[in-house]
Amino acid sequence: MAGLVAPWTEKVRGTKHRIGYRAVGIKKWIQQGARHSFCSYWLALHKDANKLVLQSGHTDADTMWTRYHAGVTEAEAMKYWAIRPPQAASNVIAMTA
């Protein structure tokens, strides 16, 4: 397989993303922000850098610990992981573990 997955150059794609972010009120998008948030809050709650390496795609626990340890408190992590959509939301599909 060759060629672009998306039919735009990286510059055009970046411009489209910025337009979309601004349209919904986001002033600056943090690259990998969701992944970094997951790592920070997960490590604060579970305190297991080795397991987090497997979940996140990073390659070593030392980097994981250096980057994410003490980024947020355990109390902040508990609040983060308690975020849930409203039960009555029509666009939420219930999933079981």
Instruction: Please tell me the pTM assigned to this model.
Output: 0.65
Tens of pLDDT, residue by residue over 21-41, are 899 888 887 878 888 899 999
pLDDT of the residue at 57: 83
Give which of 32, 70, 39, 66 is closest to 55, Cα–Cα.
39
Tens of pLDDT, residue by residue over 7-17, are 788 898 889 88
Helix, coil or strand: residue 96: coil
Tens of pLDDT, residue by residue over 36-91, are 899 999 999 999 999 999 998 888 899 888 888 888 999 999 999 999 877 777 77
Per 3-state DSSP, what percentage of the chain is helix, strand, and coil (rounded to 5)? Answer: 55, 0, 45
Give which of 58, 13, 21, 51 is closest to 36, Cα–Cα.
58
What are the domain boundaries of the chain?
31-83
DSSP output for 10-32 = HHHHHHHHHHHHHHTT-S-PPTT
